[in-house]
Structure 1
Amino acid sequence: MSPAEGRWDDVRAALGKAIEQTHAQEPRVLRYAMHQGPDRLVMIEKYADEAALEAHTKSPALLELMGVLDGALSAPMDVQVLTPVPAGDPAKGEI
């Protein structure tokens, strides 16, 4: 996601809060981590299964986050659901 000018701190803070809530309240969310590039923030997420992803989409943390992000981004979010293609060392070849 690309925060709008002047909204970086707001977006990072909102994501940080959502991360804390998700880690505390959703044990089937295996990874939920924010990464920053020069012009965007990226969330890396991993779920135990499809049901865990579905539950997360209805979680209070995500619903609150979406409210904060409304109007705070310079472009629509680019959400991609990917399937791992493990290779090499299983401990290193998949997130």
Structure 2
Amino acid sequence: MPVIVATITPKPDKVDEVAEVLTRLIPEVHNEDGCEVYALHKGKDRFVFVEKWRDMAALGVHGGAPSIKALNEGLKGLVTGPPDIQILEALPAGDPAKGAL
């Protein structure tokens, strides 16, 4: 099950606008087949999605979904560059319930 960490860096004066674009599309993504976790977090100067998908096929469909196309369109001119997207594989350790997403 792939875990994704996607970091989006807004321009300093566009933080609220970026937050609106990102949060508006979350319900649509939550309804996508294979979406297990799609959670948005805010840092000092960035937004970070932590995602978990059933499999790579579901992640692939998500990448071409209308929600992602709308997200990319909505972020034009509001961010410092493209998102940093990391596709990760868990290395479980310790308590199985706490050692992996």
Q: Output the CA distance in 1 between the equivalents of 2:47 and 2:68.
A: 16
Count of aligned pairs? 94
The alignment status of 1:14 with 2:21, answered yes or no, reads yes
RCO higher in 1 or 2 (8 Å CA, sep ≥ 6)?
2
Q: SS where residue 41 of structure 2 aligns?
A: strand
* TM-score, with structure 1 as normaliser: 0.92
For residue 41 of structure 1, the aligned residue among 22, 41, 47 is 47
**1:39 deviation in Å?**
1.1
Structure 1 residue runs without a partner (length 5+)? none
Tell me how far 1:90 sits from its aligned partner: 1.1
TM-score (norm 2): 0.87
Structure ranking higher in strand proportion: 2
Q: Deviations over 1:27-56 (max 9, x none)?
A: 311110101111111010110001100010
Structure 1 stretches of 4+ moved >4 Å: none
Give 1:76's match in structure 2, choosing from 46, 65, 82: 82
Identical positions, percent: 39
* Structure 1 position 82, deviation (Å): 0.8
Q: Which amino acid aligns with 1:68?
A: G
> Of the candidates 2, 6, 11, which is equivalent to residue 4 of structure 1?
11
State whether residues 12 and 45 of structure 2, in contact with CA within 8 Å, keep that contact through their aligned partners in structure 1: no
